[in-house]
Amino acid sequence: MPLAPPALLEAAAEAAGPLEVEDPAKPWVVPPERIHSVLAALRDDPRLAMNSLMNLTAVDRPEQGQIEIVYHLCSLRHHHEVAVKTLCDRGSPHAPTAVDLWPAADWFEREVFDLFGVVFDGHPDLRRILCPDDWVGHPLLRDYELPKDVHITTDRDD
Amino acid sequence: MTEITHIPPPLGLEPGAHEGEFLINMGPQHPSTHGVLRLVLRMEGEVIRGVWPVIGYLHRNHEKIAESRPYSAFTMFSDRLDYLASMNMNLGYAIAVERLCGFEVPERAEHIRVIMAELNRIASHLVWFGTYGLDLGAWTPMLFGFREREQIIDLFEMACGARLTYSYIIPGGVTEDLPDGFVERARAFLRMMPAKLREYDDLLGDNVIFRRRVEGIAPLDTETAVALGVTGPLLRATGLRWDLRRDAPYSIYDRFDFEIPTGTTGDCMDRYTVRMTEIRESLRIIEQALDALPDGPIQGKVPRVIRAPKDAEIYDRTESPRGEYGIYIVSDGKPQPWRLKVRAPSFSNLMSVAPTSIGLKIADLVAIVGSIDIVMGEVDR
């Protein structure tokens, strides 16, 4: 049976310890030091059984000096879903990896590393995935300046 | 559940690799990589010992582009994600914006959307049928598949003038009403198609050579597939009856009667069967939608400049021909999204290549990559 957001939050708090969430229907913000254990509880608790990591991405918040990491989880057994967020410092962004919980996180985290520069501690193969390996900067940061001279030219006169 | 082994960095042969192992490079320009996918293979003779997919050759960063464009402009970019199913891409984006902003969609537009999305699903599966035959050395399926797809493309051209990038389904409705004669031609297509599907099975599905290339190749169990984020026909081929059109209904899919085909072992043959049966089910949905097509407006009330509520966000997912297509929008109240993320089904499905192909022969890799039905436009975005 799918659980409604308040019941989901209740079950999650029982499994992972108290969670400070104002509105259970909105993304739950979890402190970075607890995010891995909360995600593990969401996956392993039989009432929640969030066996699918549908999406993992980041949102840049320069005015708060933070980057949000967003996890969209879904239970293919119970048909309920939840969004969980954690925050990391924009100066040296670090977050624990979720690859050990869902192998699906592998390329998602590589993408966030590539485009936001967030380092996922414990990721087995953290390399750029979409941009070339020698790319400078992280394009999805809001203050990223688009390079003016990356176009490829076939003009051989110069 | 099979153990998923992650290939440790650095990419290549680690010191102390087995003697006789070597690396070869497949793609990015290779007939069976469907675009610009590169696979670095670690081989021992003809046996695959490691696979590193290298992607990003088609990266345009649609997500960055979206941050500087009004909401209505991203429809044109969504066409270029999965360019074989642009209608489904338009639909997923339109629904996300509508849910974020609370727009209503008129009944007639909802029906037209379902007709178009399902026609495009058939067209996409037909391209897959043709190119998969081509990958495995059969030339004719490509001609057959493209012959029927052409009729669908003609229908789209009638409706919106475009043959590949439609931008037809927009937030609030659709751009044009159906032209005269569309419904009749669509019905003629529905009548013609079942006989063609039997022809496809005679040609490819029941062909001994084809079956020997795909049966028992790259089986995938449900638990591994879910953990890897695999969705769409690949997930259903493993035996899980999971389709967002039924399990998280959007648009008006809950009104139609259709089956969700599944396989048993998740091998390449099951993926073929699931896709071919999905075409049949899409035909049923289109028929019901045509029967129920009401009169009325085709565009709801949408402001000229769309502004989403401040500090709102939404993750909306729809079933594209390749699986779960998600759109994540974060709004700060301005006419452009603060952040837009596309969760592309092919991106996650492609991750299943490495764990399923290790230990098989290199010729099987062509069958595996083909069976995933990747579109690099949405993998690289």
Cβ within 8 Å, pair B326-A132: no
Please judge whether B341 and A79 are an interchain contact, meaning their C-beta atoms are less than 8 angstroms apart.
Answer: no
Query: B285: which 2 tokens?
Result: 């949905």
Q: Any idea which of B9-23, B286-300, B366-380 has the lowest mean pLDDT?
A: B9-23
Nearest CA in chain A to B343: A55
Domain boundaries, chain A: 5-95
Q: What is the rounded CA–CA span in Å between residue B108 and residue B112?
A: 6
The confidence score (pLDDT) of residue B333 equals 86
Question: Would you call B315 an interface residue with chain A, using a CB distance cutoff of 8 Å?
Answer: yes
| CATH number for the domain formed by residue range(s) A5-95 | 3.30.460.80
Check if the beta carbon of residue B191 is closer than 8 Å to that of residue B116: no
Beta partners for B315?
Answer: B328
d(CA A32, CA A114): 20
Q: Compute the average pLDDT of residues A88-106.
A: 89
| CA atoms of A137 and A141, how far apart (whole Å) | 9
Give just the sign of the alpha carbon dihedral B270, B274, B280, B284. Answer: positive
For residues A74 and A86, give the distance between their C-alpha atoms in angstroms, rounded to a whole number: 17
CB contact under 8 A, B8 and A53: no
Across the interface, of A55, A102, A129, the residue whose CB is closest to B55 is A129
What number is the average pLDDT over the span A110-114? 91
Mean pLDDT for B174-196 is 91
Contacts of B63 in chain A (CB under 8 A): 115, 140
Tell me the CATH number for domain B62-348: 1.10.645.10
Convert the pLDDT of each residue in A24-61 to its tens digit: 788 888 888 889 988 998 888 888 888 889 999 999 99
Q: Which of A53, A125, A139 sits opposite B64 (nearest CB)?
A: A139
A127 touches chain B (CB under 8 A): yes
CA atoms of A55 and A105, how far apart (whole Å): 8
Of B317, B347, B351, the CB nearest to A54: B317
Average pLDDT of the segment spanning B244-252 = 87
Q: According to the model, what pLDDT value does residue B3 have?
A: 47
- Residues in chain B within 8 Å Cβ distance of A54: 229, 315, 317, 324, 326, 343
Please indicate if any CB of chain B lies within 8 Å of the CB of A139.
Answer: yes
Query: Rounded CA gap, B255 and B112, in Å?
Result: 14
What pLDDT was estimated at residue B17?
60
Rounded mean pLDDT of B18-44?
79
ipTM of the complex: 0.87
B234 in reach of chain A (CB within 8 A): no
The pLDDT assigned to B14 comes to: 55
Which residue does chain A place closest to B329, by CA atoms?
A: A59
- Give the per-residue pLDDT at B10: 46
The single-letter DSSP state of residue B254 is G
**Residue A146: pLDDT over 50:** yes
B104 CB-near residues (< 8 Å, 6+ apart): B98, B172, B300, B301
| Mean pLDDT across B70-79 | 90
Tell me how far apart the alpha carbons of residues A78 and A74 are, in angstroms, rounded to a whole number.
9
Give residue B27's pLDDT: 75
Measuring CA to CA, which residue among B260, B320, B25, B276 is closest to residue B132?
Answer: B276
**For residues B119 and A153, which has the higher predicted lDDT (pLDDT)?**
B119
**pLDDT tens, position by position, B122-170:** 999 999 999 998 888 888 889 999 999 999 999 999 998 888 889 999 9
Residue A57: closest CA among A93, A111, A98: A111
- Whether chain B has a CB inside 8 Å of the CB on A125: the answer is yes
Res B34 pLDDT > 60: yes
Average pLDDT (B348-367) is 87
* Gyration radius of chain B over CA positions: 21
B343 touches chain A (CB under 8 A): yes
Q: If we measure between CA atoms, which residue out of A129, A153, A124 comes closest to residue A139? A: A129
